[in-house]
Amino acid sequence: MTVTETRVRTATRRDLHEGWTVTADGGPVPAGTDLTRVPASVPGCVHTDLLAAGLIVDPYLDDHERVLAWIGRTNWTYTTHFAWADDGHERHDLVFDGLDTVAEIRLNGALVGATANMHRCYRFDVSALLVDGDNELTVRFAAPVPYADRQSLVLGYRPQVNQHPFNAMRKMACSFGWDWGPDLATSGIWRPVRLESWSVARLAQVRVHASVAGSAPGASAGRVDVVAEIEHAGVAGATPKQAGLELSVRIAGTEVQIPVDADTVSARVDVPGVELWWPRSHGAQPLYDVDVELRRAGDALATAERRVGFRTATLEMEPDEDGTSFTFVVNGQPVWVRGANWIPDDAFPHRVTRERYAERIGQAISANINLLRVWGGGIYEADDFYDLCDELGLLTWQDFLFACAAYAEEEPLRSEVEAEVRDNVTRLGHHASLVLWNGSNENIWGYHDWNWESRLEGRTWGLGYYTGLLPRMVADLDPDCAYTPSSPWSGSLEVHPNDPRHGSVHEWEMWNRRDWPHYRDAVPRFMAEFGWQGPPTWSTLTRAISDDPLTPESPGMLVHQKAAQGNDKLIDGLVAHLRLPDAMEDWHWAMSWNQATAVSTALEHYRSWSPRCMGAVVWQLNDCWPVTSWAAIDGDGRAKPLLFALRHAYADRLITVQPRGVDGQLVVALVNDSSEDWNGDLEIRRAAYEGIDLASTAISVEVRSRSTALIPVPGPLAKPDDPAREVLAASLGHQRATWFYAQPRDSALREPALRVDVTPVEDGALVRVITDTLVRGLTLLADKLHPEAVVDDALIDLLAGECHTFRVSAPGLTDIAALADPTVLRSVNQLVVAAATDVAAG
């Protein structure tokens, strides 16, 4: 086929998402179920196809995960038919944005290609295989569980932390289960697939890099560099130059055109007077469209669009008197990271739409989060995720997909890693929000501390990726973006990777062994992971688990608790603070409160140490199914009390009381991470639970923007007469911190005589609560009444005589008076009183 000038046309794209079926193709399928030509969704996966067809139970409920294990041991063939007619284009490519995972693709019976990496895009020239009329496309997936097992032998043993050798193949690690995730190894065409028809040439890769060349007050000199790789359709004898191609780059009204004289061409556009992009609470998020066009004789052959923001972003790891810093700096301004770790929002990640990303990211923003770390046991998220983060000013840190395991550096894995990194750094590198590529999750730490070195007997374990291949590729494909070999990372292979004095750390000792007040024992330079478990919200839990009776240890509860000794750790972490309740609803509330309190204790401590500590990334923001986990948002997308605790602890301005020094001297820390100074009278008082002020003082304070002040609490306030009956309250403006001299279980919190007024308002209710005594952790678990009820705040401490009004949005809730029910309107007082009653009765 030859192409003449007049036949040059823009490339066309046609999605192939219709008419798919899936058929079991070998494996331990249950007898009596017809698994042939089941209607299938693309993008999708086999579990959701079988579910939609009514052939399996919901994998997220009860112990269905176990019952459905056969799906991951079965081969599955996806088939569709589509009509096609030659439109005269020279080339016709079959393009898969994501195949999960080990697949053979056939068109009209002929083998098109084979794949083994969920994280890559694949393109096959099928020009010679397409026929006029009906075409049959099949994708046969080999069962992932036995494949991983076989590959673990081919590659040789490598340590990993779960029940399947997820590290032997390039598939989402948590697809095989995790300590918060179900073992539901998927197969399917999980991202879009299409036919792309084109002539002469196409844009094979486009990398767009926005930088700031200099800045003046108000406006900066922006620069956009575009690198385009061109693929030619292979017209006989045509060199790129003869083809007469031209590349155009347009941004903010400026266009640059350059002749295409090689397969890789670069264009630069200077954009004077750009507005800088900032993370939230530091400034605005202006974004600029970059339009790239490949042309011949003025006709567009192919186009690509990217949206960029102009900012500088660095990660400073500098030696100083405290060790080695770990500070993100954007546009020259240090950013205190109020972060959360992000996992795939669904164990079937194709279900995560733009709307769902928007909802989840909106929840993160409601919690004053300014960075999401995309964790390395999941996926490189869809473009929508990073687009939304760009728009909303959330920084992102992307792990490469290596987590909690040693990885072979030999073939065939090595080439897969290289191809996957090329695809994804090219796809994501232009995002303004993206400030760090990180080589792996905990793998250098694992090598040091988890006995890998002796187990490996000299085998490769991934270090060559983390310190060689990956940083080389990032430097090439996303120049200027910060890179770390792993998290945690001390800055040097010579220094222990989890040394709190150096770089980033992961703090798991408190949850695993020591209890949460001990977070205060260490001052990390940057806390990249720490967390505390809690159950999902009540309505999520009772939707997913139908145990009768439902107890903390009933069968379904244990299936939906994946952490090693998870329930024991929940209990051990509670009993120093509250007696363990037996009643299920009390247990649920106690564990939810303890999770929130543990995490906010840590965060307030870390923020009080700003700028020595420059950030925290809570483990974890979200869940991928209904489960007891470290998440702040449960598997049905509902906010756990922890999300509100994050909102308080991550507020621009934080007031917190902290014990400092060996003698536990109390200080009030005023953390002003806002752009305005924070001045006023700090009022500190020590009051009896029953309302009498025992001592008080007012101190005039000036806290400059982005700074922290520590105000010692004067002696008469710091020392209680009766620790069980007194509280310290410190307030500045509208904000207040409380400090309790005793743990709840050792305190005299009593049943309050609450006055609760519930007033209906449009789509919900206002719940006004007045108390006659100190109430700790007042929380309205509105979802217990209606799964869609959402409340605006939680975990409120009220002193005697004070009042608080909750706003409940509950469109479907008819019995709003029930919002005052003590099983819904909860407090720590209830748990203390219930325990005292039990003790008295027992």
Name the residues that contact ligand BMA, by CB under 6 A.
178-180, 377, 403-404, 441-442, 529, 619, 630
Which CB sits closer to ligand BMA, 442 or 604? 442
Contact 819, 758 (CB under 8 A): yes
Cβ burial of 299 (10 Å; 0-12, 13-18, 19+) is: middle
CA 705 to chain centre: 29
- 746: which residues sit within 8 A by CB, 6+ positions away? 723, 724
Which CB sits closer to ligand BMA, 478 or 507? 507
Sheet harboring 122-125: ordered strands across? 12-15, 193-198, 91-96, 122-125
Q: How far is the CB of 501 from ligand BMA (least distance, A)?
A: 21
Q: How far is the CB of 631 from ligand BMA (least distance, A)?
A: 10
CA-based nearest residue to 505, from 521, 520, 519, 525: 525
Residue with tokens 């800088």: 276
Which CB sits closer to ligand BMA, 181 or 429? 181
Which CB sits closer to ligand BMA, 160 or 331? 160
Length of the chain: 842
Q: How far is the CB of 630 from ligand BMA (least distance, A)?
A: 6
Q: How far is the CB of 506 from ligand BMA (least distance, A)?
A: 6
Which CB sits closer to ligand BMA, 390 or 529? 529
Which CB sits closer to ligand BMA, 179 or 196? 179
Which CB sits closer to ligand BMA, 441 or 537? 441
Which CB sits closer to ligand BMA, 486 or 830? 486
Which CB sits closer to ligand BMA, 178 or 386? 178
CA-based nearest residue to 443, from 234, 160, 719, 691: 160
Q: Number of C-alpha atoms within 13 angstroms, CB side, residue 747?
A: 28
Which CB sits closer to ligand BMA, 20 or 519? 519
Q: How far is the CB of 42 from ligand BMA (least distance, A)?
A: 30
Beta-carbon neighbour count of residue 28 at 10 Å?
11
CA-based nearest residue to 385, from 414, 408, 411, 364: 364
Containing H/E element for 364? helix 354-366
Q: How far is the CB of 529 from ligand BMA (least distance, A)?
A: 5
Q: How far is the CB of 262 from ligand BMA (least distance, A)?
A: 43
Contact 175, 185 (CB under 8 A): yes
Q: How far is the CB of 184 from ligand BMA (least distance, A)?
A: 16
Contact 292, 206 (CB under 8 A): yes
Q: Check the CA dihedral 543-545-548-553 and report its sign.
A: negative
Q: How far is the CB of 532 from ligand BMA (least distance, A)?
A: 10
Q: How far is the CB of 668 from ligand BMA (least distance, A)?
A: 33
Could you give the 3-state DSSP secondary structure of residue 705?
A: coil
Q: How far is the CB of 444 from ligand BMA (least distance, A)?
A: 13
Question: For residues 525 and 547, what is the distance between their CA atoms, to the nearest angstrom?
Answer: 44
Cβ burial of 518 (10 Å; 0-12, 13-18, 19+) is: middle
Q: How far is the CB of 530 from ligand BMA (least distance, A)?
A: 9
Q: How far is the CB of 646 from ligand BMA (least distance, A)?
A: 17
Q: How far is the CB of 72 from ligand BMA (least distance, A)?
A: 20
Which CB sits closer to ligand BMA, 179 or 746? 179
Tokens of residue 630, six digits: 């470290």
What's 1's DSSP letter? -
Which CB sits closer to ligand BMA, 545 or 627? 627
Which CB sits closer to ligand BMA, 443 or 540? 443
Strand partners, 206: 228
User: β-strands 371-374, 395-399: how paired?
Assistant: parallel
Question: For residues 235 and 239, what is the distance between their CA atoms, to the nearest angstrom?
Answer: 9
Q: How far is the CB of 209 from ligand BMA (least distance, A)?
A: 30
Q: How far is the CB of 340 from ligand BMA (least distance, A)?
A: 13
Long-range Cβ contacts of 749-755 (<8 Å, 24+ apart) = 749/689, 749/774, 749/776, 749/828, 749/829, 749/832, 749/833, 750/689, 750/829, 750/832, 750/833, 751/829, 751/830, 751/833, 752/827, 752/829, 754/820, 754/825
Beta-carbon neighbour count of residue 793 at 10 Å?
15
Which CB sits closer to ligand BMA, 619 or 740? 619
Which CB sits closer to ligand BMA, 104 or 179? 179
Which CB sits closer to ligand BMA, 403 or 434? 403
Question: For residues 514 and 508, what is the distance between their CA atoms, to the nearest angstrom?
Answer: 9
SS3 letters across 221-278: EEEEEEEEEEEECCCCCCCCCCCCEEEEEEECCEEEEEECCCCEEEEEEEEEEECECC
CA-based nearest residue to 186, from 145, 131, 152, 158: 145
Cβ burial of 6 (10 Å; 0-12, 13-18, 19+) is: exposed
Containing H/E element for 606? helix 584-608
CA-based nearest residue to 668, from 604, 724, 625, 616: 604
